[in-house]
Each structure stands twice: as C-alpha cells, then as structure tokens.
Amino acid sequence: MASWYARAVHRYEKMRWAQEPNRITPAFAWGLEHISGQADHVDPRGFLDQYVENAVTCSDDWFAVVPPQDYVLEENVLTFTSGVVSPWPENNRVYGQIFRATRKDSSANSNHRAFRAAVSESGLSDIRPKGPAVVVLAQWNSRWDEQQSVCRWLSKLGITAIKISLPYHDRRAVPGHPRADYLVGPNIGLTLQANRQAVIDVRHMLRWLEHEGYGPLGLLGTSIGSCIGFITMCHEPAVRTAAFLHVSTYFGDVVANGLTTMNVWEPLAEAGISKQDARRYWLPISPLPYISKLREAGKKFLMITARHDPTFLPEFTRALFDNLRGARVKFESLTLPCGHYSLGVTPFKQAAGYRFGKFLQRELCHESG
C-alpha cells in the first residue's frame, strides 16, 4: 500500500497533467518514410527490426555530425540549420538562448589544459578561452521562456549556459501543433528521426561553443532532455560532465507506462504495438544500449530522480542505476521525495538546483586534481 504521502504526490501529479493545454491524441503511424523507408512498406515490423539493429550497432554513424556553416548569433540567440532535414521547415532551424557567465571563478583556468590542447590540434589556437559552458535541454513541451532561471543560476556560478530549442518546440513548432507531438508521439519512425535530430543538434551546438573558445563543456537535461543528453554524452567526446533530472532505461518503457505519455501510448496499443515492441523499436533513442561507451570515458555525471515519479517510474530508474553499476560506470545520484511535475516546485526545485549547480561548478570550474 502506498503511503498517504505518496498518494498525495500522485494526486498532485495527475492534477498537473490534467491542466496541460492543447493536448491531443495523435494517430498511430509506422512512419518509415522518416527513416529511409517507404510509408507503404509491406513488412514494417521487419523493416524496423533491421533498422533498429543497424542504428544501435553503428550508433557513432547514426549520430554523426557535420557542423553547419551558417551559425548566426544575434542578441544572445544562436541559430543554425539542423543536421537532420524534417518535412517541416520551421523545425529545421535550431535556436539557442545564451546566458553568459557573470562571475569568473579564480580556479576555472586550471581546468583548461585539455581544452587548450584540443583547440590547438583543431587549428584554432588563436581563440581565447572563455570558460566553461553547459548546453541546457529542457523538458518535453517546454516553452521558450522556461528554464531561463536555471540558466541564470548557472551563469552566476561562472558557467555560460545555452538553452537549446528541442525539435518541434517553441520557435521550432509546426503549424497546428503547439505541443511537441512529433518529438514524442505514436508515429514510430518520426519519433526516431526527431530524437536523432535532437542529439545531432546538441552536438552542433557543442561544436560552436568549442569554436568560440568555450570549455570545458557539459550538459544539463530534464526529462526527455535527460534522455537526449545522456545519449549525447555517450557519443560526444567534448562533453566532460553532465547532470540529468529524471532518468530511465528505455524510451519505450516511459511512453508505455508513464502518466504524461498516456495520450501517446493509447493509439500505439490500439494498433497492436506491445510494450516490448515499443522498447525494441525505440531502442536507438534509449540510454541503455550506450552505457558501455562510458566505461573508459572518465566522464562525471549526476542523476537526480523523484521517488514518487509516475512518468519515469522508479523501477526503471533503479534498473538504469543497476546497469551502470554492473558496467562499473561511476556516477552520483540524488533522490528527492517528489514526483515528475513536483520536482519543479518548492522546496524540491531549490534542492535539485543547488545540487546540480554546485556539481557542474565543481566539475567544470575547479581543478580536477
């Protein structure tokens, strides 16, 4: 039996979920045309099985980047062309809000030796180091003005923050879809394409930061942002450290079992997609397959979780922790007595913010010894 406290948290979570505007239930689609297939393929399951196996096995190629040549910075907003072309032009331009560090840490320069060496090797030795920076990946359906307080907090700690607009979010939203229905939706192929696009967009943003002289570099991700961030960390050598709020093993498990994705799961289930199918088809955009890449990488990361989370269920979080420990990957963690939405309210948001802020400051600004 759940305690009265856990039941109270879940009531709050359901109330917040019910209050979200513009929620729709999209139609199911295989969406193979978004992943190099044909919309009318005679065997969509067979196509997906082969595609997924290849994507995971060759994930370095699947998430590979060729930095764009059209970076534009105006009034602290960076824009550039996405590395993945979707059918909607609005989604194919990436935006990032920059919050420059307002305080310089006296020991920050001691952590730039590896950064300077990398810059020198790339032929950019004339770039003056500008200090550490973090790419911030917000939660699903976040708005342009959300998580700005998080970025300002990091800037006060001596870390430049750049908040990326995820695919189909805020300025990248497509007509008729004010919510990001195409980043997490019952269109299987489109969801694969959109999350691959997100990882590649983040890596392009990291390339710009490197070119401009920022470093060392980190990530901060929340909810879907934590999933995208984790996969990016596994594939991006430039990422030294990261902090993630809400974590799970499989993308499909969250969709099939989570409160906030009930409208996504309903059409999938009606189409005969099982929970095991969802786990398998969305394996390339799940954290679990890439844990082995962290074993010798020496990256430092923190995971903040919610004990009563009805979206990223605690058993999925524990499974990720167990797999990391089994692979002998070191990490830090903090579990707070709240839920998914309630991690963003007092006092939990202050506890989480202080913890990830000081963690990122320690790892990016201070001498590692």
Tell me the fold of 26-65+99-365: Rossmann fold (3.40.50)
Q: Where are the domains of the chain?
A: 26-65+99-365
H/E element, 240: strand 239-245
Name which of 243, 268, 246 is nearest 184 in CA terms. Answer: 268
Describe the strand order of the beta sheet including 77-81 as a list of residue ranges. 72-74, 77-81, 93-99, 160-164, 131-137, 214-222, 239-245, 300-306, 332-336
pLDDT of residue 124: 52
Question: pTM for this one?
Answer: 0.93
φ, ψ (nearest 5 deg) of residue 289:
-65, -15
Question: With contact defined as beta carbons under 8 Å apart, do 71 and 78 qualify?
Answer: yes
Q: What is the pLDDT along the chain (369 residues), one digit of tens a residue?
A: 579 999 999 999 999 999 999 999 999 999 999 999 999 999 999 999 999 999 999 999 999 999 999 999 999 999 999 999 999 999 999 999 999 999 665 444 444 445 455 454 545 555 678 999 999 999 999 999 999 999 999 999 999 999 999 999 999 999 989 999 999 999 999 999 999 999 999 999 999 999 999 999 999 999 999 999 999 999 999 999 999 999 999 999 999 999 999 999 999 999 999 999 999 999 999 999 999 999 989 999 999 999 999 999 999 999 999 999 999 999 999 999 999 999 999 999 999 999 999 999 999 997 433
pLDDT tens-digit map of 239-257 = 999 999 999 999 999 999 9
Q: CA-to-CA distance for 96 and 76, rounded, in angstroms?
A: 8
Helix (H), strand (E), coil (C) string for 182-229: CCCCCEHHHHHHHHHHHHHHHHHHHHHHHHCCEEEEEEEEECHHHHHH
Q: CA-to-CA distance for 31 and 27, rounded, in angstroms?
A: 11
Question: With contact defined as beta carbons under 8 Å apart, do 232 and 239 qualify?
Answer: yes
> Long-range pairs for 227-230 at CB < 8 Å and ≥24 separation?
227/195, 227/251, 227/254, 227/285, 227/286, 227/287, 228/137, 228/166, 228/195, 228/198, 228/199, 228/202, 229/135, 229/137, 229/202, 230/287, 230/290
- C-alpha distances in angstroms, 172 versus 23, 81, 118? 18, 12, 33
3-state secondary structure of 73: strand
Beta bridge partners of 81: 93
Share of the chain above pLDDT 70, in %: 92
pLDDT tens-digit map of 198-223 = 999 999 999 999 999 999 999 999 99
Q: CA-to-CA distance for 85 and 90, rounded, in angstroms?
A: 11
Beta bridge partners of 242: 219, 301
Give the pair of three-digit tokens for residue 260: 């906030």
pLDDT tens-digit map of 110-155 = 444 454 554 545 455 556 789 999 999 999 999 999 999 999 999 9
Burial of 169 (C-beta count, 10 Å sphere; 0-12/13-18/19+): buried
Question: With contact defined as beta carbons under 8 Å apart, do 213 and 129 qualify?
Answer: yes
Q: CA-to-CA distance for 248 and 313, rounded, in angstroms?
A: 8
Q: CA-to-CA distance for 311 and 332, rounded, in angstroms?
A: 21
